[in-house]
Structure 1
Amino acid sequence: MESLAGILRTLILSKGFKQLEVLLLRIIHSVLRSALEQKKTESIKEFGPIDYDAPVKTENKTIGLGTKIGVGVAVLVFGLVFALGDFLPSGSDGPAEEATVVNKKLSEEEQNTLRARLKQYELTLSTAPKDSIALEGAAVTLFELGEYTRAASLLQDLAKEKPGDPDVFRLLGEIKYELKDYDGSAAAYRISAALSKNVDFEVLRGHANALLAAKKPDEAVQVLLASRAKLNSGKSSSVDIKVDGNGMEIESQEVDPIQVDLLLGKAYSDWGHVSDAVSVYDQLISSHPDDFRGYLAKGIILKENGNVGDAERMFIQARFFAPEKAKALVDRYARK
């Protein structure tokens, strides 16, 4: 069999740079895979085998307005959102449907339960129209029922009673987005962000998506750049401590800087600043070389702009680093 040195010499002399590049990629992948396998073996020797089937305990936290999110649910939601392309560059001229809130279809029993609960809140409001607990409960219940117009009206009343509660404005931002009032949604998210001491990623994502839907990608970029600078400067911790309506301290979702960069790249892409988007993805790949999302996002935007060869190399890298359950996602975008 011809030696590796001989193959390389032949390719260089024949100017077979394309074949050489493919060969080098294969060598790199082989070395990386070998290193990963070695690290896995060493970890097993040191700590023992990992039981992947063991149940993971999750702690539920109440995050404003009666919303309970466990760690497992948060991971599932992020996986769903990412799979739908919320963080990825898109050539669409209109607001992405995947950026909206994903509501499950309620069963008849669930609807009846919610409507019974709503009647109780409405009974309270009939005698005490400014009761903040009843306003909050009715607004959230209407939101769950998909009655966004009525929910928005109650939330606006609630905002007058609780003007310092960021979650009131966060939910108002979500509802106005559902109503396709993108400017109103962005305004509500802006207030929510101003009321939070630190960067709340759900608010940031909602704010950016609302601005993109309102055809204001330049403003979305500025919001994301300011938030990223705040995170990088250390002015914002990874966890935002808030106070709910009952005076209890609660923690918001941890901010993942990779998600912020992906949103920034998407905003640049929607704005038509492709080179800036690619630059963001290059920085992301440089700072997180073992995370598949940067490669995937760059591959998508390169492919959209006709650079198929470089895009294919990004998809190869993305698939290599992607967890097993995400490989199908990479393949889906690679085939588009």
Structure 2
Amino acid sequence: MQNKTTITLLLTIMMSCLVTSFGNSQSKKSSPLLHLKPAKEILIESDKIWLSDLFYSDREFKDKIIGDAPELGKKLKLFRKDLRRIVKASPLNWSGSLRKSVVVSRSAKQVPMNIIRNTVVKALEQNHVNDEIEVEFNDRNLKILVPKNAEEAIRVLQSHLDQRTGRFEVVVNINSTANEDQNIILKGKAFAIIPMPVPNKHIGAGQLINKKDITWRKVRIKQQSFGVVGSMEQLLDHVAKRPLTAGRLIRMSDVRPQQLIKKGEFVTLHFKNKTMSLSTRGVSVEPGSRNQVIRVKNPRSKRIIEARVLGPNTAVVLPTTTILR
């Protein structure tokens, strides 16, 4: 009788297991059938990977998070065994795929370098220097990424500048609407800069330099060597001695004053004082440029006087001039 009871209990347990197994199998079979998305590389924007990022189905299915997404701009390769493990952890079906793997990429955009550079320069100028500066980062390939469709806000949390070497270190916070904060340490060197006049186009040898021919370019102070033109006044009424290239600094030796009076030409001389004003003509003994004092000979008396050049073939006799001969 006891043996009969034991056999009956074992049969009951076996039937229960078969029913449970059959029920699970039927439940699995009745679940939606998943298909792997055809794209070899799947772009996602979230910081999590969802089941629907990888699979699709003809029937509606309950979506869920299956793991963390790769870092911004990075890729994650999932092999067939990984995909099977993901599906096995859900009540869904997957018929499998001939493909060996699928790549998941996190979409991102690069913060423009001019925005980063301007933010750093502004912080250094406000906190450490009085001059205008420009900066170079140690990492020439610096890239700061944020989620593709997010708006970013950039601010400097801390800054340090060595006044002797120009070396700086700043902590920049990148905050995006995707709620992903990044604190990044940037290192580099700052350079003081000043505006310098340069040609805005090619100027040929012998060509008169006009104001419209000149633009301003900011250059590092250490690049400004002795003998380089630093003001517009040093260029006006000057002629290029040799061809000048657009955008390049101009040396003093590259230009010469424009000759408004040539040697041996007739010159109109003006003389003024409190009681009278006279004009006469003379012959230049030497060439002259604007504001230069030259010698002029009276063709009748043969006497030589000094006069300051005003314009083309025009000069004014100095009030304190003396007859030189």
Q: Shorter-chain TM-score: what band?
A: under 0.3
User: Which protein is bigger by CA-based radius of gyration?
Assistant: 2
TM-score, normalization: structure 2?
Answer: 0.20
Q: Which has the higher strand share?
A: 2
TM-score w.r.t. the length of structure 1 is 0.20
Q: Which has the higher helix share?
A: 1
